[in-house]
Amino acid sequence: MSDESTYPWPRAIVLDDTAALALGGGNRMVSRFVVEAEKDPTLHVYIPVMCLAVAERERAGVAEHVGSLPSVDITEMGFDAAAAMGKRVRIEAGRAGADDWGGAHALHLGLPSVEWPRGRPILTREPGRYRGTGVRAVRIEG
């Protein structure tokens, strides 16, 4: 970015299913994060495996495309993620998007953790999905 002094790159960002679809569709903003992470090993781009599965359901071939990018970390789901996601989806039952497994996995990665005490922002076309969660959602431009 040319104006890094006023808006520095986040050290890590999580792409949800909508961002994975945007990346697969050639969105310039999402692609820029991936390119910058390729050039700078201190930048990290994460895609939760559940978001990748949802994106693949929506558009065939997205998983192969995204999975072939060396600077993108496809983040698997361990016990802690499975338990937290299941609880979130159960609590959200009855609301619109109650079976939002991709959003739940992205949220899990975006929340503060030992490795990322300030959390990680989520890049998305639908920032309202994360309203009230305490996670910073960044709207995809374009």
84-141 pLDDT, tens digit each: 888 888 887 766 555 788 999 999 999 999 999 999 999 999 999 999 999 999 999 9
CA dihedral 78, 140, 130, 58 (to 10 degrees): -60
Is 7 within a domain?
no
CATH number at residue 112: 3.40.50.1010
User: 114 to each of 21, 72, 99, 119, 126, how far by Cα in Å?
Assistant: 29, 21, 27, 9, 27
43 in Cβ contact with 11 (< 8 Å): yes
Average pLDDT, the chain: 89
6-39 pLDDT, tens digit each: 556 679 999 999 999 999 999 999 999 999 999 9
pTM of the model: 0.88
Q: How many domains does the chain have?
A: 1
**Rounded to an integer, what is the distance from CA 46 to the centroid of its chain?**
6
Is 38 within a domain?
yes
Is 1 within a domain?
no
* Residue numbers of the domain that contains 28: 12-139
Rounded to whole angstroms, the Cα distance separating 3 from 99 reads 39
Is 75 within a domain?
yes
